[in-house]
Structure 1
């Protein structure tokens, strides 16, 4: 009989061979780092052709990869849009952000697919809608939602760095949590996690959701005056006014967004400053990632949805599905694959996720995305759930919401047109003028796009459930109030 030492050596050899086999397998599948920036409108970015160089880091990431300025979000806000990213399904299919607020039990998430394929999975989120409250944490081996009540989990070193830099990287010493910026905290935690990944052999899928540049557009100290040269007020005064507008948003919208030219300019300057700061921090994180011995790593940077600045007489990202709200930038770096689409083509988040799943050896054919290595798409579809407009009518009983639809709204966008419909009616918009219904002038176009949309909803948008509802904790509700989603 063999003694214990010989059995020990035999087991070590078996384990060694198994590890080598795993390494050979994993070397063929890249790591994936997906970074989502909240409320990032495409035409306010460098790759979107904006007059201000707000996203030079994103542009640099795109230079050696792919940069798309027409990625069409699946929804108008974080919950339906990110729900589609992290499930691969249409918002009306899962009902996330439509008539429900959580992933139904019968839905397999993207994180679960990667995990089942041997990936380590991790998610770092600063937004309450990407948390256990909505079941979007499902499938992640490692998950952290950063909020005022969980900030201690960022780690002592990261917290010390944040406090030391709180005047340049945030709003200074203030108890108003709506003023504080969090990318420095996000980066500190993310770097620590990436360091952990470096010491392991399996590939990883790491999803990060930054809360900036979401309202209230209060940039950190060192960025306050970045875009104020043409303003008659200082950056701090502009940020203060942006915060006041944030807290009075419903009243302002209900009364027609009657802001002065200087107030509009201040809002845009503060929004752009938030974008520029977050872009810098994303650049720092990607640079750190590239310095590590992680192996092949695909990096995706995008926005979950856009932002309104007066279109349709609205602010923020509620009610409508036009380009201001649904058109976001997207860059891909490190994907060593030829794509069939050009940088000017329409894509959707689900296409990129489907492609990454297939690259990882995961069948994503049941999702609504296309594999961009094999095909593109002729149109994109965005969806919005029912709206009551009660909050606006409280401030102005005469507010006219007839153009915004109250029922579930589906919008189909091509390179030239947007066709949208709900149970109350339909409109056709030329993308050169997204507020004038031209169905009567182009009836054949409207009829063709209506047919395409009907077929798509029938194939992809049927609800799997009536909508799963979860009760949000007080901590989640507090952050949603900071973001303007709750009174």
Structure 2
């Protein structure tokens, strides 16, 4: 069998239950749903981490976050970790990555193994080419917030697509199969949809679409204060926030559909397409927003679509899967080395539990706004979650706790000690086999450009 081309598209901050493959009431993802209908659409895919760095590290290495240390105790990939791009390159693939997120860049080492890599940010945007930038400016009212100097209001999928199309043309002329990884920053906060989509879900709101977008932007900038003071949103404010989030999902879905259509117009018929989220987002659950502090389903359960795979899979679409499973499967399909990854080959195996991890949480931003904020309800230190079909078991450095789903706020350790003990034992085995660090964690100082983008996204003060 000819080795397939692989196009992997990661969307930032998309929770599964806001997509069509998970039965969402709004039609936010018709393009992704179309791919799922002709392929596989999984609604129980669990990210390896709660945020971009540990999750993307898991995707692009096939290793657990605690092993790579990314987003756990370090922020840069240790030398002893083999990346997925290196595996594909060793197998004869052309490898490329186009990223809009600083956590998927040379700053974290996740560019390792890519023949071609580009990080798109305000400081590097000219690298996209003058012609591409001119096209973007001509379409800026439809595909972004119009002419404004506020970079937080600009969307980038149009720019991503235009650059990607140039690269795909090069791949079409080449002789080798390709592994092309794209990380779209949308719909990550702040939720400020482009003009074409800003009013997609604002019917019934008391505020206008523009007012809703401005509210979402203001909420983004004051997120720590809102959580620390337990700010209660009005129904209209909550509806506005989710309307803007859903509009961002819908716009990005539209652009994903356009890119896949372009791929299918080229002489690249043997191409496998993956579309997923790197993590989810909270909207008031546990008194939280965004994706910090916890490993609840809203943060870890993401959509996953696998399109263009000729093989039958050994898993059903409602089964638990993780990103490393898909990557291990693709490596095996490509005839590349998958030894040492934590995934299973989905053509042959399924899994009974998913493992997600979080590094030590910092509450400094919350305590600045409210010194009395109760941090004791969160687990200390490195936190690991085991998610089965019926339970979530969590372990921090201070304690363990068990939840019977769908309730993720009421521990049932005392009522179900046997379940807690069994899942704790399985976690011990998993850590021994997969979770120990490969080497000393690296924490490099990020450059000014990287720090600026991470600050815009709310990761840094």
The question of a shared fold, defined as TM-score above 0.5 by the shorter chain, is answered with yes
Q: Deviations over 1:326-349 (max 9, x none)?
A: 000000111111110000000000
Return the alpha-carbon distance in structure 1 between the equivalents of residues 279 and 232 of structure 2: 24
- Root-mean-square deviation over aligned CA pairs: 0.8
2:332 to 358, 365, 368: 358
Residue 332 (structure 1) aligns with: 306
Structure with greater Cα Rg: 1
1:141 equivalent in structure 2: 115
Write the distance in 2 (CA, Å) between the matches of 1:295 and 1:285.
Answer: 14
- Contact 2:328-2:341 within 8 A present in 1 as well: yes
CA distance in 2, matches of 1:355, 1:438: 36
SS of residue in 2 equivalent to 1:217: coil
Mapped partners of 2:405, 2:18: distance in 1: 17
- Return the offset for 1:423: 1.5
**In 1: Cα distance, 2:454 partner to 2:381 partner:** 23
Q: Which residue does the alignment assign to 1:68?
A: 42
Q: Secondary structure at the match of 2:408?
A: strand
Tell me, yes or no, if structure 1 residue 413 matches structure 2 residue 425: no
Gaps of 5+ in 2: none
Any conservation in 2 of the 1:388–1:406 contact (CA below 8 Å)? no
Which position in structure 2 is the counterpart of 1:249? 223
Q: How far is the alpha carbon of 1:270 from its aligned partner?
A: 0.2
The aligned residue for residue 376 of structure 1 is 350
Q: 1:133: how far off?
A: 0.3
Shift of 1:307: 0.1
Mapped partners of 2:266, 2:324: distance in 1: 28
Q: Tell me the SS of whatever aligns to 1:221.
A: coil
TM-score (norm 2): 0.99
**SS of residue paired to 1:244:** helix
Q: 2:82 aligns with which of 108, 123, 141?
A: 108
CA drift at 1:453: 1.0
Match of 1:367 in 2: 341
Aligned match for 1:57, one of 19, 26, 31: 31
Question: Contact 1:257 / 1:315 at 8 angstroms: preserved in 2?
Answer: no
Of the three residues 193, 206, 215, the one matched with 2:189 is 215
Secondary structure of residue in 2 paired with 1:35: strand
2-structure distance, mates of 1:320, 1:233: 31
Runs of 4+ in 1 over 4 A off after TM superposition: none
Tell me if structure 2 keeps the 8 A contact 1:257–1:310.
no
Alignment partner of 1:86 out of 60, 66, 90: 60
Hey, what does 1:317 align to over in structure 2? 291
Structure 1 residues without counterparts, runs of 5 or longer:
1-26
1:156 is displaced (CA, Å) by 2.0
Which of 260, 267, 271 aligns to 2:234? It is 260
The alignment's TM-score, normalised by the length of structure 1, stands at 0.94
- Separation (CA, whole Å) in 1 of partners of 2:132 and 2:3: 31
Aligned residue in 2 for 1:234:
208
1:7 corresponding residue in structure 2:
none
CA deviations on 1:136-195 (whole Å, 9 max, x unpaired) are 000000000000011111122221111011111101111111111000000000001001
The residue aligned with 1:4 is: none
Shift of 1:217: 0.4
Q: CA deviation at 1:406?
A: 2.3
8 Å contact kept, 1:99–1:466: no
In the alignment, what sits opposite 1:392?
366
State the alpha-carbon separation in 2 of the partners of residues 219 and 176 from structure 1: 13
Among 13, 17, 37, which residue is 2:11 paired with? 37
Match 2:164 to one of 186, 190, 201: 190
Describe the SS at the equivalent of 1:223.
coil
> Shift in Å at residue 230 of structure 1?
1.8
Residue in 2 that maps onto 1:175: 149
Match of 1:463, SS state, is coil
Q: How far off its partner does 1:457 sit?
A: 1.1
- Per-residue CA deviation, residues 367-387 of structure 1 (Å, 9 max, x unaligned), is 100000110001000000001
Aligned mate of 1:470, from 444, 450, 453: 444
